[in-house]
Structure 1
């Protein structure tokens, strides 16, 4: 009998009675329990996070920053409620702690009382970070804790971004303020440069003026020295005058006592003598008027005579043409020539003195005064006695005044001595001021150059300092608050969590279905073995019915996943065809283990399932597993099944699929060959077959 017929007969056994038919239905639906039911349970868990109760505690008291009220905690709470990430429930801190501990809440988020104050401190002198407090309890659910870390990382990033935007906006506003202040400073530097230029000019003028003042102070010092010397002379002279007037007064008083009787007796003769003096004064005045003419004539005559004498002397005594003709006493002649020259010089000096009208005028004045006094004396001669008394009185007053003058001269000398010291200090001080002014003038030149460089630098700096308007600030704060954006380009993206895990649970379901099927169907067809059929026919007769059931299981599972749960397959036909090959491989491999090892094979099937599940990389990348699982990963069929289904369901390179097909085909053929070998060995009855060590 052929293998397909034997397989059909094996399946017909399930149509005999209700219980076998129920068992057949159970076999067909069993993969749904592992595949569809598992995937359904967490098909889209992230889409239902809003059903997870989470405690939310807002203790933030707010803060005042820059004169504005900041309620960062309320903003966080409002944003969380709008996001609907979890089922947020605002409770007290005590309720949150108790609820997380007892499992009423999976976790809690607490906004501390100083949160706004810390957030607002970023623009102050002592910036601090604001900390959101998260409390989890892994005894409630470990996965929720992992999910919360991702969610709260996003919450923290969003809050940090808002805080950074506020801080950076203030920085950019400060840039604008600095720009404006720098421009004003540059304008001030320009004005400073102009002012320093004027100051430079003034410093130069000051240096020049102090130089002149130094010269003036020097002259003043010299003048005061002279005044001091003169005052000293005046002091001495005035003392002598005072002494003289005292002596004069003494003598006058003494003489007046003797002369007064004479004046009274001889007044008439004195009057006559005075008139004679007036006549003589008139004659003297006439002679004085003729004196310049006569002095000039005398100078000319004496100069001519001196010149003539000098010529004669030269002719006779100094090798002239007459030196040998006449012998004279040259030494005596030289003395006469010298005397004549001296007389000519004296006449010249006298003429100069006469020409200096001061002396002549003074003499004329004195003569006129003498004449006037003589006239007065002539008039007053009769009353000379009385006048003498008046004169004596005046001389006594003169004496008294001379003494006062002497005392004043002494005081003047003392004052000028003090002034001399002050003027000397003034001269020294002005000298220092002059040196300082010269130094200042030189420094002003450098200051002018420096102020010019300062103005230029401030203008250049103002150009380099940015001055952003509101739109530019908003753009830059957005970029700098979140400078790195994650450009997440998902190739062949899985729409749901269940879609991503389907390549892992589908082969698990088919393996379990094949494993349970061989609990009800013999791996080696007893009828074929009893009939002495060939080993290949026996192997195929035991494999085909389970493979057929696997096809039905695959159809049922994929129908429910596609139309029930909404699984979308990028390559639906390829997925179905690949799963049929998977079913053939799994059933052949499980048949081999059951046929070769008997009841112990069921344990090996389960163990092999565990090894494949842990090394296939269906959940986490296999690289995150210990080295043992990495070592067996490439050699187990489920590894290739998971990787192939990922490419077929979500899309991708088909090279992995074709590799998987080759591996699965090799496993299928190899397993069937080894099963045939086991069937041939089973056809020989042995003692251990009659009395097995273990029976299940």
Structure 2
């Protein structure tokens, strides 16, 4: 501890003994305060001088003359009202061209042009198909971003004012008309006629109320039907899903059949190759000299040919049966399942059609047509493919039977005996038979591979394509049903909204009818003079009073929570916090952070750290005190809790000084750069000026990891008023960053000491840094 205070004492003495160093230190203490004060003062009341923002106004209104001959010009009235307003620098011009030229050239921030039929539209809106009075607004957004927002607000206020005048004019016209009717009634004996009119209107209103009841009941019925239709569609989609599953199973069956056929083709080819090899062997063994010796072998080979031919014939017959079973049982069953699904969908469509919920004739016809096309296609495919394949397989089987018969004849007949007896002429007979056998096997092999196999493959491929087409049909039909469900849901929502509106309208009608019924009851038992008085009270009224009420029917009562006197006081926490950070950044840039070890005994690294830090802490606190005193007594910001404001600023100063000092002593110039980067991020994304909710997603995600928001919120509590323990909580959260600074300066710094020395040496070598 002694070394820490020795370092601090030496730093203070050195500062006081050197006049120039003392002047620089005082300047560093005052400079951040100037930064804060200028920004706060510039934002003190930015809307107080909006009268200097020039907006051009041109009225093209021709005016309008009412039935009493009175000339009215609401456009001129608007201009007269604007001339009395000094919140915006309104500039009044004669033509639209002058106004637009000024906006394009930048002489005016915006322009407002009043339409030539402005007055006529205002007084004849009801009689003239509700044509709105129109003003046109032009804005130069390039000139200044903030000015554009101010001019938008000014024009919006102008629009609100004109809307109030419009409602006032229409209401005044309506009540002047009713007063005219009242005068006519008082001058003529039309009381009975008027009573009859009221009674007729009342009956009509009651009829309208009954109609609304019927309409709402009808909507409820339609809603029930649409719900039933939705349920039916859901069931139909479930059936379609089952059908698609069946088709996929059929497709897998076809794939299995094709694989089985490939295996069978391989077996047939192997059998024919064995027959061919046997024939070749026999042919090679036959000679005049060796015929007797090979007689027995020849006979056995003949028997092998016969056995192979019989086995091949059986396999061909099995293939025919397997193809028939596969095509008729498996494929037709899967297709029949799909047809059943389509039939179910057709029945559902019939149910929807009978319920009257939707016209789906086109969907029903599409399902029926797809069903018929599928049946025809499957029948044609069965007939054509089965006939063609059976025809080719019968031809192959006949050839195989012929080979087998000839081999049987050769074994059973005289050929074997002739061979065994050595009759020479038998050799030639056998060779001729073998040649015939070889040609027959070759023809059979070509017939099978070139005609039978392609026919079977084509049949399987056609069946697969048919199943895929049906599956595509069902998928499209399911999508169509999804669209129909969306339509029904939209209808149900619309009906609900319509019923609500109708109920509200019915309430208004019933209320009006009740009032008319009350008036009629009062008129029924009154004398003629009393009847006239009742009617006059019903119709008569002050047009100005009524128009004033209808133009502003709702009165807003303003209540401000934690009210702040001006915008400058509102931004003082942000600019004061920023000035404290800037001040400490200037200190580490101009004052050395490493203490001198000269005159110290057994000094430790943490003593050097804290010994020099005390100087930075002192200077930072002086900076903060100047900032706070200037805010409170020079600018006189609103502050309900001055002492707490200074404490919050002092805690922020301690946290910032510790964090920036630790970054600098741990990472050198890189640490100084990091301090600047953190400051830049916090200027944009701390919520000091704009609400954090209005900032981009990046700032909303990272702002809680920086110290600015907690310091700003603590100061705001002092300016606008405290809420529970928010102030204390903000200070505790702020001190967490001071602890982080200690970890950086005392622990994380250690591995980077040598690296920092190396970087500093290299920078000194440049003789520039």
The TM-score, its normalising length taken from structure 2, stands at 0.51
Q: Give the secondary-structure state (helix, strand or coil) at the position aligned to 1:54.
A: strand
Change (3 A) 1:176 1:493: same
Q: Give the secondary-structure state (helix, strand or coil) at the position aligned to 2:125.
A: helix
Q: Confirm whether residue 61 of structure 1 aligns to residue 62 of structure 2.
A: yes
Q: Confirm whether residue 549 of structure 1 aligns to residue 619 of structure 2.
A: yes
- 1:515 Cα deviation after fit: 0.7
Aligned pair partner of 1:511 in 581, 601, 617: 581
Q: Which residue of 1 aligns with 2:701?
A: 631
In structure 2, C-alpha distance between the alignment counterparts of 1:181 and 1:157, rounded to whole Å: 36
Aligned pair partner of 1:467 in 538, 556, 560: 538
Change (3 A) 1:630 1:683: closer
In structure 2, C-alpha distance between the alignment counterparts of 1:64 and 1:633, rounded to whole Å: 63
Would the aligned equivalents of 1:637 and 1:667 in 2 still touch at CA under 8 Å? yes
Change (3 A) 1:496 1:581: same
Q: Give the secondary-structure state (helix, strand or coil) at the position aligned to 2:130.
A: coil
- 1:185 Cα deviation after fit: 4.7
Per-residue CA distance 1:80-102 (angstroms, 9 max, x = gap): 22220122222344443333223
In structure 2, C-alpha distance between the alignment counterparts of 1:43 and 1:190, rounded to whole Å: 66
Equivalent residue runs for 1:38-437 within 5 Å: 38-66=39-67, 67-92=69-94, 93-122=96-125, 124-176=127-179, 185-188=190-193
- 1:161 Cα deviation after fit: 0.5
RMSD: 3.4
In structure 1, C-alpha distance between the alignment counterparts of 2:85 and 2:537, rounded to whole Å: 37
Per-residue CA distance 1:319-376 (angstroms, 9 max, x = gap): xxxxxxxxxxxxxxxxxxxxxxxxxxxxxxxxxxxxxxxxxxxxxxxxxxxxxxxxxx
Q: Which residue of 1 aligns with 2:592?
A: 522
Equivalent residue runs for 1:607-618 within 5 Å: 607-618=677-688
- 1:44 Cα deviation after fit: 0.7
- 1:688 Cα deviation after fit: 2.6
Would the aligned equivalents of 2:685 and 2:699 in 1 still touch at CA under 8 Å? yes
- 1:682 Cα deviation after fit: 7.1
Q: Which residue of 1 aligns with 2:742?
A: 672
5+ unaligned residues in a row in structure 1: which ranges? Answer: 193-452
Equivalent residue runs for 1:471-482 within 5 Å: 473-482=543-552
Would the aligned equivalents of 2:663 and 2:744 in 1 still touch at CA under 8 Å? no
Q: Give the secondary-structure state (helix, strand or coil) at the position aligned to 1:133.
A: strand
Q: Which residue of 2 aligns with 1:578?
A: 648
Q: Which residue of 2 aligns with 1:589?
A: 659
Q: Which residue of 2 aligns with 1:560?
A: 630
Change (3 A) 1:190 1:464: closer
- 1:75 Cα deviation after fit: 1.8
In structure 2, C-alpha distance between the alignment counterparts of 1:663 and 1:21, rounded to whole Å: 35
Q: Give the secondary-structure state (helix, strand or coil) at the position aligned to 2:557.
A: coil
In structure 2, C-alpha distance between the alignment counterparts of 1:515 and 1:527, rounded to whole Å: 24
Would the aligned equivalents of 1:539 and 1:672 in 2 still touch at CA under 8 Å? no
When structure 1 is superposed on structure 2, of 503-512 and 121-130 the one drifting more is 121-130
In structure 1, C-alpha distance between the alignment counterparts of 2:114 and 2:729, rounded to whole Å: 54
Change (3 A) 1:663 1:117: same
In structure 2, C-alpha distance between the alignment counterparts of 1:654 and 1:189, rounded to whole Å: 67
In structure 1, C-alpha distance between the alignment counterparts of 2:113 and 2:749, rounded to whole Å: 69
In structure 1, C-alpha distance between the alignment counterparts of 2:185 and 2:550, rounded to whole Å: 25
Q: Give the secondary-structure state (helix, strand or coil) at the position aligned to 2:579.
A: helix
Q: Give the secondary-structure state (helix, strand or coil) at the position aligned to 1:60.
A: coil
When structure 1 is superposed on structure 2, of 566-575 and 653-662 the one drifting more is 653-662
- 1:542 Cα deviation after fit: 3.0
Would the aligned equivalents of 2:88 and 2:154 in 1 still touch at CA under 8 Å? no
Q: Confirm whether residue 640 of structure 1 aligns to residue 710 of structure 2.
A: yes
Would the aligned equivalents of 1:523 and 1:594 in 2 still touch at CA under 8 Å? yes
Per-residue CA distance 1:185-204 (angstroms, 9 max, x = gap): 54248899xxxxxxxxxxxx
In structure 2, C-alpha distance between the alignment counterparts of 1:175 and 1:154, rounded to whole Å: 32
- 1:619 Cα deviation after fit: 1.8
In structure 2, C-alpha distance between the alignment counterparts of 1:509 and 1:522, rounded to whole Å: 21
- 1:55 Cα deviation after fit: 2.4
Per-residue CA distance 1:228-266 (angstroms, 9 max, x = gap): xxxxxxxxxxxxxxxxxxxxxxxxxxxxxxxxxxxxxxx
Q: Give the secondary-structure state (helix, strand or coil) at the position aligned to 1:508.
A: helix
- 1:63 Cα deviation after fit: 2.2
Change (3 A) 1:160 1:681: same
5+ unaligned residues in a row in structure 2: which ranges? Answer: 198-516, 525-530
Per-residue CA distance 1:519-553 (angstroms, 9 max, x = gap): 11233424489765334332322322222222222
Change (3 A) 1:602 1:689: closer
- 1:41 Cα deviation after fit: 1.6
Would the aligned equivalents of 1:529 and 1:538 in 2 still touch at CA under 8 Å? no
Q: Give the secondary-structure state (helix, strand or coil) at the position aligned to 1:522.
A: coil
Q: Give the secondary-structure state (helix, strand or coil) at the position aligned to 2:554.
A: coil
Would the aligned equivalents of 1:535 and 1:677 in 2 still touch at CA under 8 Å? no
In structure 2, C-alpha distance between the alignment counterparts of 1:145 and 1:665, rounded to whole Å: 41
May I ask how many residue pairs the two structures share in their alignment? 434
In structure 1, C-alpha distance between the alignment counterparts of 2:727 and 2:759, rounded to whole Å: 42
- 1:47 Cα deviation after fit: 1.0
Would the aligned equivalents of 2:109 and 2:151 in 1 still touch at CA under 8 Å? no
- 1:458 Cα deviation after fit: 11
Q: Which residue of 1 aligns with 2:221?
A: none
The TM-score, its normalising length taken from structure 1, stands at 0.56
Change (3 A) 1:487 1:456: closer
- 1:157 Cα deviation after fit: 0.8
Would the aligned equivalents of 1:35 and 1:505 in 2 still touch at CA under 8 Å? yes
